[in-house]
């Protein structure tokens, strides 16, 4: 890739509006993520295993429907999907507080709503990631994804703190309404974006899901650099889901911190993630996509080791250790994600964008379906800290696999 200075993607038609919609909905999502986990632990008096089951129910649709819906998204215009799924998610989240007020909310019912939410999120994710290459050209994808990550990191910095305050003041169920409002705003903003989208509805080739799903699978898992990256990322999601599932009950139950303090610790990841995303494009151009991602994956085990070594309940350093660990984790995430997404989008033809994205995301989220309950069960059986160390060892193994694979040679100038 040449060393010319990239364009300011905010000046490209439609991108600033899309960035705004994504950032607003990201803010609400961080509120809901914390609120639902606190709801299970404190309101419904659930265990770490039950937190894992709730997390798994959100991502189960990716495992069951991901490949099918990815093939269909490639045949549809993407903006209408984004608008419809945002409206649907706002409706689903708006029902949860009502069920709680009526005394009808339980873990099984909550899991059903979260699973339906996951179906809409699956469609939205496939359309969103495939929509970006229609707003910006290939040379601008790294910068565009870095801008999106900066918005997400800003939301992550404020979202958990606001969530902790809302949960403390209003209770976890009512805090979910903030996310419902964010999706309504996102739908309105995206609806107003002017964009030309090709339509494949009149394709002379009839719909053949088996063939079209197979094309997506073949492209990802036969690509010389995408394939090892995909396998490494599947492993990363397995162990990351164990860590994120255990983190909330570890903080609330073993370390005896409040929901607000939990939000502060999580916000540290957002603040550092913003710094990482600001440097992501520069790191990617200097080290290449492969080098940047592998370096970030090497930092993540260190980040979680700091968390696993946090002092016990009552220590004034407990929150500091959690914030430092989350900060290092967020820094690595912020610097890595734009390089991952920019590279994937740049080397994939437009006609395969939806299938490439859902192929990778379906199996990634499938790993959460396995890892989240497994992490919860291990925490309930072995304890929180041993489970954290098991997942940290998994992070190290995944990083070493990527470092030894052809993905280490991936560059942002690659076109196939």
* Inter-residue contact 394 to 238 (CB < 8 Å): yes
Helices (H), 136-195: 141-170, 172-191
Q: How far apart are CA 343 and CA 396, in angstroms?
A: 23
SS3 content of the chain, % helix, strand, coil (to 5): 85, 0, 15
5 pLDDT tier (thresholds 50, 70, 90)? low
Q: pLDDT tens, 236-266?
A: 999 999 999 999 899 999 999 988 898 889 8
pTM of the model: 0.73
List CB contacts of 239: < 8 A, sequence separation 6 or more. 371, 391, 392, 394, 395, 398
What is the radius of gyration, based on Cα positions, of the chain? 20
For the chain, what's the residue count? 416
Which helix H or strand E contains 357, and what residues bound it? helix 353-382
CB neighbour burial string for 223-258, b if at least 16 within 10 angstroms, e if fewer: bebbbbbbbbbbbbbbbbbbbbbbbbbbbbbbbebe
Could you give the C-alpha distances from 369 to 108, 117, 183, 302, in angstroms and in order? 16, 15, 25, 25
Q: How many CA atoms lie within 13 A of 262 on its CB side?
A: 29
Q: How far apart are CA 285 and CA 292, in angstroms?
A: 9
% of residues, the chain, pLDDT over 90: 39
How high does pLDDT run on average in the chain?
Answer: 86
> What phi and psi, each to the nearest 5 degrees, are found at residue 372?
-65, -50
Q: At CA 31, angle to CA 309 and CA 102, rounded to 5?
A: 115
Segment 293-306 shows an average pLDDT of 97
Q: How far apart are CA 329 and CA 263, in angstroms?
A: 15
Res 313: pLDDT: 84
For 9-196+209-409, give the CATH class: mainly alpha
Res 357: pLDDT: 79
Q: How far apart are CA 41 and CA 50, in angstroms?
A: 8
Res 1: pLDDT: 42
- Of 12, 40, 17, nearest to 172 by C-alpha is 40
Task: Please classify residue 22 by burial: count the beta carbons closer than 10 Å to its beta carbon, then call 0-12 exposed, 13-18 middle and 19+ buried.
Answer: buried
- Of 408, 324, 337, nearest to 152 by C-alpha is 337
List CB contacts of 50: < 8 A, sequence separation 6 or more. 40, 44, 107, 376
- Of 36, 58, 113, 399, nearest to 241 by C-alpha is 58
Structure tokens at 86: 């945002």
7 pLDDT tier (thresholds 50, 70, 90)? low
Q: How far apart are CA 211 and CA 305, in angstroms?
A: 44
Q: How far apart are CA 219 and CA 34, in angstroms?
A: 36
* Inter-residue contact 153 to 270 (CB < 8 Å): yes
* Inter-residue contact 298 to 232 (CB < 8 Å): no
Q: How far apart are CA 148 and CA 142, in angstroms?
A: 10
Res. 200: pLDDT tops 70: no
Q: pLDDT tens, 270-298?
A: 789 888 888 988 999 899 999 999 999 99
Res. 393: pLDDT tops 50: yes
Res 398: pLDDT: 96
Q: How far apart are CA 153 and CA 271, in angstroms?
A: 6
Q: How far apart are CA 377 and CA 371, in angstroms?
A: 10
Q: pLDDT tens, 332-384?
A: 998 998 899 888 888 888 778 878 877 888 888 889 889 999 999 999 999 99
């Amino acid at each position: 890739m040449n060393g010319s200075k990239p364009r300011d993607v905010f000046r490209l038609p439609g991108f600033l509006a899309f960035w705004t919609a994504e950032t607003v909905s990201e803010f609400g999502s961080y509120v809901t993520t914390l609120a639902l986990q606190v709801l299970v632990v404190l309101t419904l008096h659930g265990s770490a295993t039950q937190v894992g089951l709730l997390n798994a129910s959100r991502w189960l649709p990716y495992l069951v429907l991901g490949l099918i819906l990815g093939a269909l998204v490639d045949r549809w215009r993407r903006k209408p999907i984004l608008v419809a799924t945002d409206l649907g998610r706002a409706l689903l989240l708006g029902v949860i507080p009502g069920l709680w007020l009526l005394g009808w909310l339980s873990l099984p019912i909550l899991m059903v709503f979260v699973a339906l939410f996951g179906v809409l999120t699956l469609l939205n994710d496939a359309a969103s990631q495939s929509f970006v290459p229609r707003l910006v050209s290939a040379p601008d994808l790294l910068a565009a994804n870095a801008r999106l990550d900066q918005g997400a990191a800003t939301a992550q910095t404020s979202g958990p703190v606001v969530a902790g305050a809302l949960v403390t003041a209003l209770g976890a169920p009512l805090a979910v309404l903030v996310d419902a409002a964010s999706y309504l705003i996102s739908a309105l903003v995206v609806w107003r974006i002017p964009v030309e989208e090709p339509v494949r509805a009149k394709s002379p080739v009839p719909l053949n899901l088996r063939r079209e799903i197979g094309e997506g699978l073949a492209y990802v898992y036969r690509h010389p650099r995408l394939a090892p990256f995909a396998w490494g990322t599947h492993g990363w999601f397995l162990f990351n889901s164990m860590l994120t599932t255990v983190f909330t009950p570890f903080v609330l139950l073993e370390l005896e911190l409040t929901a607000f303090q939990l939000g502060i610790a999580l916000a540290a990841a957002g603040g550092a993630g913003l710094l990482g995303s600001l440097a992501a494009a520069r790191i990617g151009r200097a080290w290449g996509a492969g080098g940047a991602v592998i370096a970030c994956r090497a930092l993540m085990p260190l980040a979680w080791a700091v968390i696993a070594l946090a002092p016990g309940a009552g220590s004034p350093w407990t929150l500091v250790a959690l914030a430092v660990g989350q900060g290092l984790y967020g820094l690595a995430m912020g610097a890595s994600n734009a390089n991952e997404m920019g590279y994937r989008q740049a080397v994939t033809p437009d006609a395969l964008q939806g299938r490439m994205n859902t192929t990778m995301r379906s199996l990634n989220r499938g790993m959460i379906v396995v890892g989240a309950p497994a992490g919860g069960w291990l925490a309930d059986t072995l304890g929180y800290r041993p489970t954290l160390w098991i997942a940290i060892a998994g992070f190290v193994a995944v990083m070493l696999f990527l470092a030894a694979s052809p993905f280490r040679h991936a560059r942002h100038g690659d076109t196939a």
